[in-house]
Amino acid sequence: MLELAILGFLYDTPLHGYELRKRIAALTGHVKPVAESTLYPAIKRLEKAGLLARTTEPGSVAAPRHVLTLTEDGRRELRRRLAEPDPRDISDENRWFTVLAFLRHLEDAGTQSAVLRRRLAFLEEPASFFYDGDRPLRAEELDDPFRRGLLTIARATSRAELTWLRETIASLDG
């Protein structure tokens, strides 16, 4: 997820590490704050793989700043990861939001639609946070008001996403 976010944000514009970290935190920070100890090693891995380049510019006040830019290989890699997301990128809501944030970088509507269809298929499978054996429990079956609330909120969120997915897929396919 972190590497995808780095590639996605750099696709549009070169950024220095601090600005990149702020943008990633705005996207995912409420769920998983981005520590320097994870961001900078990920940047180095992507740089070593030839997916991004670093240039040094004079700092506005003090030390020089390192500006990160995607290479053409980095642009291709981002599009590949978006077109072929890992199953966890489809099923995990936070990872899905990262894919969704950059899906516009796939220029082919059919490929965009295929990714959305994978999420749609995942959401259409019966699921719950709570089960009676193998059977998913519905909110109406629970006496616990907190668990009932959790399922009620999750159902409303899923319905909204399902509606958006169906409308967007129809638009892309239309």
pLDDT of 31 > 70? The answer is no
Residue 145 pLDDT grade (very low, low, confident, very high; cuts 50, 70, 90):
very high
Average pLDDT, the chain: 91
What number of CA atoms fall less than 13 Å from residue 167's CA on the CB side? 6
Q: Which amino acid is at 89?
A: D
Query: What residue has token string 């380049």?
Result: 53
d(CA 30, CA 61): 30
Phi, psi dihedrals of residue 106, rounded to the nearest 5°: -85, 120
d(CA 115, CA 94): 16
The residue-averaged pLDDT of 86-108 equals 94
Is residue 174 packed enough to be buried (19+ CB in 10 Å), middle (13-18) or exposed (0-12)? exposed
pLDDT of 33 > 80? The answer is no
pLDDT of 36 > 90? The answer is no
Phi, psi dihedrals of residue 63, rounded to the nearest 5°: -65, 155
pLDDT in tens, 59-86: 666 677 789 999 999 999 999 999 999 9
3-state secondary structure 72-131: HHHHHHHHHHHHCCCHHHHHCHHHHHHHHHHHHHCCCHHHHHHHHHHHHHHHHCCCCCCE
pLDDT of residue 108: 95
pLDDT in tens, 149-170: 999 999 999 999 999 999 999 9
pLDDT of residue 29: 66
Q: What is the largest CA-CA distance in the chain?
A: 63
pLDDT of 39 > 80? The answer is yes
The residue-averaged pLDDT of 1-21 equals 92
